[in-house]
């Protein structure tokens, strides 16, 4: 069924350790993400880039949540952009940039549904759980904190992007593909009540069963599912162009199955695609692979 899809580039690298993810939106556009989604019959509008401050113009930040003020400023704007896109009846797709943008995009989609007395489910496809806080993060990089923030933990300023209450309910949050989790994050995961399907569960249960359980849980009592797709959830053999690669990840075919089943569910409300680092890529291999996967999420079928 045709959808109204709006693409937004968010070339932010303030939450990451390595430079380069700011070029992620351009790499995805070069790989044809817009034209290939539109070719599936969807009404697509590319809204261009969200303007933001360049890291090179800012003083170096060595704090426990680096560049937090600037990141909060961007996330507030993303909150409003996401709300407006949903108000127009669109399915917004945000091209990152580092994963800290999700603290704004998900907050905005959740705020839209909250106005309609509905909740938002989230599937967090990632090698990491991103459940650190300024008090626990070993690096101070905010791209390791957004899921904790959305659940009401960590930076008060970042938590407040979506209002005084946590944006999402932990019973509707599912992480898929985790395999690099700090000890402090393990404690936060247990405290929060979210469900994490690590690579052990993916291997033991199979991607079909993991996806089924995640979709059922994220959509239970919600208006639908926001997919926060961190490319490092994929195995580095498939996706070398990321800043924090972790061996033993999700295969290309497993990821396609995940996307196909998500499309079949018709529960997708919105999406982030984050952490693509063209500096680390090989001939845009990662961007090309990701665009193939995203087509499956928008209904591309084998037969």
Active site residues: 99, 126, 128, 130, 143, 230, 232, 275
Contact 99, 22 (CB under 8 A): no
Helix (H) or strand (E) holding 10: strand 4-10
State both tokens at 93: 């797709």
Contact 4, 89 (CB under 8 A): yes
Query: What distance lies between CA 241 and its chain's CA centroid?
Result: 16
State both tokens at 17: 């350790």
Candidates 130, 171, 127; CA nearest to 153 is 130
State both tokens at 41: 């019959």
> How many helices (H) does the chain have, and how many strands (E)?
11, 8
Query: What distance lies between CA 34 and its chain's CA centroid?
Result: 18
């Amino acid at each position: 069924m045709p959808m109204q899809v709006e693409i937004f580039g968010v070339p932010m690298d303030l939450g990451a350790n390595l430079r380069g993810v700011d070029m992620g939106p351009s790499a995805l556009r070069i790989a044809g993400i817009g034209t290939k989604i539109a070719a599936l019959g969807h009404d697509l509008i590319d809204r261009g880039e969200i303007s933001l401050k360049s890291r090179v113009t800012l003083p170096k930040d060595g704090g426990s949540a680096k560049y937090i003020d600037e990141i909060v400023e961007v996330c507030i704007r993303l909150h409003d952009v996401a709300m407006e896109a949903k108000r127009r009846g669109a399915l917004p797709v945000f091209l990152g940039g580092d994963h800290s943008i999700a603290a704004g995009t998900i907050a905005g989609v959740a705020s839209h549904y909250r106005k309609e007395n509905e909740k938002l489910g989230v599937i967090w496809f990632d090698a990491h759980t991103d459940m650190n806080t300024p008090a626990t993060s070993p690096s101070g990089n905010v791209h390791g904190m957004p899921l904790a923030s959305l659940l009401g933990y960590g930076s008060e300023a970042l938590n407040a992007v979506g209002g005084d209450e946590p944006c999402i309910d932990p019973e509707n949050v599912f992480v898929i593909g985790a395999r690099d989790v700090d000890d402090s994050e393990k404690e936060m995961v247990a405290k929060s009540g979210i469900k994490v399907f690590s690579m052990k569960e993916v291997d033991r249960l199979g991607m079909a069963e993991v996806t089924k359980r995640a979709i059922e849980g994220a959509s239970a009592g919600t208006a639908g599912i926001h997919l926060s797709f961190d490319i490092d959830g994929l195995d580095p053999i498939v996706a070398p162009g990321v800043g924090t690669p972790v061996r033993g990840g999700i295969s290309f075919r497993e990821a396609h199955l995940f996307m196909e089943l998500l499309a079949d569910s018709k529960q997708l409300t919105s999406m982030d695609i984050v952490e693509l680092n063209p500096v680390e890529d090989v001939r845009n291999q990662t961007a090309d692979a990701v665009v193939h996967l995203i087509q499956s999420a928008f209904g591309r079928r084998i037969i």
